[in-house]
A and B are shown apart, each in its own frame.
Chain A
């Protein structure tokens, strides 16, 4: 049985209510911490836990917190990034929808450690109903004296606000998020300075993912060292995985990092195998922007070792034969899936979501989408495949924010691992008219 830290009470009825949450031990960690511990100790425990950012980049949270500038007389902010918009990722929504108080408790604990008296939860516009759930939770917390002035008699003041975005993927990039939070157009800022020095309203700011902040509660509860024992190597703790695609049991799963990918896909405890007993074709392991991997590479690394659900194991082999854990958006594709069609969907998304600030991304994302459309329609040439490869290389690493990479990586990986399929679209467009028929013949 897997270890559950975040979702251990997710099926308790009315766990979104403060009274029920408290009956199940909620806010006890906060009470103990505010009474007995100093902010430095909380930071120390988070460092010891080895927790890595759950939003996608996997940067060590303790280290990020220790970078926070602490000039005298300047407020510090904690911002929770709930702008979960990566295609294939829906774990934060589930967490906030089911157990909003876990996030609120994590926000207060983290703010206590950072010395932030104000925090914001920036939530994507499409999650307006989740924002209402969070607001109700915050209201309850205020009424119970868990937020506001002098929390539980500790002398610590904290206010927490929910801000709804207007539906832009780019606002999940931390500096674009801050711009949007300030009421401006959500364009990423040019770094440096980093938010830890000059973030929200020019003040030192920490921006963390929902899951990261929620994970602070079990970390403080069990101690950083205990938390670090869960998982494998530098991938400590548990991770929420949003499993979707052609599997029998799509949904959000909390896994102990280090579960073999094969077990995750085929075990009845998790995805429960591929729908209709079909064969696995490919997996996008961490949300649409990470490289797609074919069956042979997602189940085993290039060295023949079993691939595990961890930051290191999924990244093994670099982008040539590996991928990334990313945000945990695990998209499974069976043998009937057209990789080209899937890539076109991704490319259309990035084209739509590019903010338009810097040229390679603004122009390149649209160009890639147009070429993919042309290939899909059966008008492509072999040259177009090389052109696609060249365009993605001209975008990757040349942009202000990582959206450029996010748009370029899926294109590169699809061509790298499934070039023959692109060539079939070009040289034999007749054969792909009936996609299902075509792919069945392949196997």
Chain B
């Protein structure tokens, strides 16, 4: 098995593992952030460039460094490879550049965005972004469109990660949405704003790392940190029926698939990915539709779910990376302990 060293931590991984997956096996701060890579979707990754790392030594056989930073999600490890992520200031600088690029045309409308609190771009901005923008021109704008009665597309917020395109390609039949136009004008769209009509189309909402694709049945109902997520299941003929309910009191505000600590949909016991169907997602909004298993374990390091939102605000000018360093990622926060309690957020 190839032995790879990431930020001075050696790890042995199976043949064909990517640098990003190897880093996830080590865990902690050295895991590069990934906005477009999604391990459950084939050929995803490589587009956003946030996961770039410096390869100091290509392999034991060919110790030359790689001339450019590489996308860790799409580069497989070689035996004897030496990778630098957070121990290379140069690499962090390059990543900050990518984060800046992702944000210059983003509307930064977090206060009115449904994704706030569980948005990967928000986390990325807090951890790797700068306090001020250097972009002084009007931002790119698109009109929000409804693609079907349940999904809202806000192209302004999109970072063109292609995840939803891969979902449409790989887990739904009769794909009718993709990327139109090119360059800065490129947008996710359906053919002449055609509705997406498919049993599994709702999964595009789950894979969207930002607030570009949101659930119209949940829009503006609540903020995500005011809801209590519980794991639940039902017998469903179309999908695995294992979901996460986001409740307020007895009311089911939203149904999503269950996600792991990387923000990806979890695997079921048989190893397949637990995508859920539109019936479970949009139509079963009554608590009696579901068998409740118990509170969900929120295993993500989101600035809001990990409850250091206030700290971040207070130290907004401090070096965010240094600050995050003292708080290991993957902090387990169990619901009910107050992490998402509205009373804790002022």
The chain A residues found within 8 Å of chain B, CB to CB, are 168, 170, 185, 190, 351-360, 362-367, 370, 387, 393-394, 397-400
List the B side residues contacting A360 at CB < 8 Å.
49, 97-98, 101
Question: What residue in chain A is nearest B48 (Cβ atoms)?
Answer: A359
Q: How far is the CB of A344 from chain B (nearest CB, A)?
A: 15
Among the listed B94, B178, B184, B185, which residue makes an inter-chain contact with A363, where contact means beta carbons less than 8 Å apart? Answer: B184
Which residue of chain B has the shortest Cβ distance to A370 in the bound complex? B137
Given contact pairs A358-B46, A394-B101, A398-B94, enumerate 20 new A-B contacts (beta carbons under 8 Å): A170-B182, A353-B183, A355-B182, A356-B160, A356-B184, A357-B160, A359-B48, A359-B50, A359-B98, A359-B159, A359-B160, A360-B97, A363-B101, A363-B102, A363-B104, A363-B105, A365-B184, A394-B94, A397-B67, A398-B98
Tell me the dominant secondary structure on chain A's binding face. Answer: helix
Q: Could you say which of B68-76, B149-157, B189-197 contacts chain A?
A: B68-76
CA–CA, A364 and B98, complex, Å: 9
Measured between beta carbons, the chain B residues less than 8 angstroms from A358 are: 46-49
Is residue B100 contacting chain A, with contact meaning CB distance below 8 A? yes
> Contacts of A354 on B, CB cut-off 8 Å?
182-184
Residues of B within 8 A of A398 (CB): 49, 52, 68-69, 94, 97-98
* Set of chain A residues within 8 Å of B160, measured between Cβ atoms: 356-357, 359, 362
B190 shortest CB reach to chain A, Å: 15
Within the complex, the shortest CB–CB distance from B96 to chain A, in Å, comes to 8
Task: Report the minimal beta-carbon distance from A56 to chain B, rounded to whole angstroms.
Answer: 17
Would A355 and B97 be within 8 Å (CB), given that A362-B160, A363-B104 are in contact? no
Query: Taking A354-B183, A356-B186 as contacts, is the C-beta distance between A367 and B47 under 8 angstroms?
Result: no
Q: How far is the CB of B164 from chain A (nearest CB, A)?
A: 15
| Docked CA distance A353–B185 (Å) | 11
Q: Which residues of A contact B94 (CB under 8 A)?
A: 394, 398
Contacts of A393 in B (CB 8 A): 97
A356, B182: Cβ atoms closer than 8 Å: yes
Query: B179 contacts the other chain (Cβ, under 8 Å)?
Result: yes
Check A365 against B97 for contact (C-beta < 8 Å). no
Chain A positions within 8 Å of B185 at CB level: 356
In the bound complex, residues from chain A placing their C-beta under 8 Å from that of B186 are 355-356, 362
User: Using Cβ atoms and an 8 Å threshold, which residues of chain B touch A394?
Assistant: 94, 97-98, 100-101
A387-B137 Cα distance, complex, nearest whole Å: 14
CB of B134 within 8 A of chain A?
Answer: yes
* Complex: A359 Cα to B94 Cα, angstroms: 12
9 contacts between A and B (CB under 8 A): A170-B182, A190-B74, A354-B184, A355-B182, A358-B49, A359-B101, A363-B104, A365-B184, A387-B134
A364 interface neighbour in B68, B101, B182, Cβ under 8 Å: B101
Note all chain A residues with C-beta closer than 8 A to B178: 185
Question: How many interface contacts (CB-CB < 8 Å) are there between A and B?
Answer: 88
Q: A359 to B159, alpha carbons, bound, how many Å?
A: 8
Q: Does B226 contact A (CB under 8 A)?
A: no
Contact A400:B184 (CB < 8 A) given known A190-B74, A394-B97: no
Expressed in whole angstroms, the minimum distance between the Cβ of B32 and any Cβ of chain A is 14
In the complex, the answer to whether A351 meets B159 with C-beta atoms within 8 Å is no
Tell me, in angstroms, the Cα distance from A441 to B33 when the chains sit together: 53
For B181, what are the chain A residues with a Cβ–Cβ distance below 8 Å?
Answer: 356
Interchain nearest-CB distance for B95 vs A (Å): 9
| B179-A185 in contact (CB<8A) | yes
| Selected contact of A359 from candidates B45, B47, B134, B182, CB within 8 Å | B47
Question: How far does the alpha carbon of A366 sit from the alpha carbon of B74 in the complex, in Å?
Answer: 26
* With known contacts A356-B160, A394-B94, A394-B98, A366–B183 Cβ distance under 8 A: yes
Cα A438 to Cα B105 with chains together (Å): 36
| Residues of chain A with a CB closer than 8 A to B48's CB | 358-359
A168-B97 contact, Cβ under 8 Å, with A359-B47, A367-B135: no
Cβ of B46: which chain A residues have Cβ within 8 Å of it?
190, 358, 400
> Most chain-B CB neighbours within 10 Å: which of A351, A352, A356, A399?
A356
B49 to A359, Cβ gap below 8 A?
yes
Report Cα–Cα, A103/B67, bound state, in Å.
35
Please indicate which of the listed interface residues A359, A362, A367 has the most CB atoms of chain B within 10 Å of its own CB: A359
A161 smallest CB distance to B (angstroms) = 25
**Binary contact readout B73-98 vs A (1 if CB under 8 angstroms, 0 otherwise):** 01000000000000000000010011
CA distance A363 to B68 in the complex (A): 20
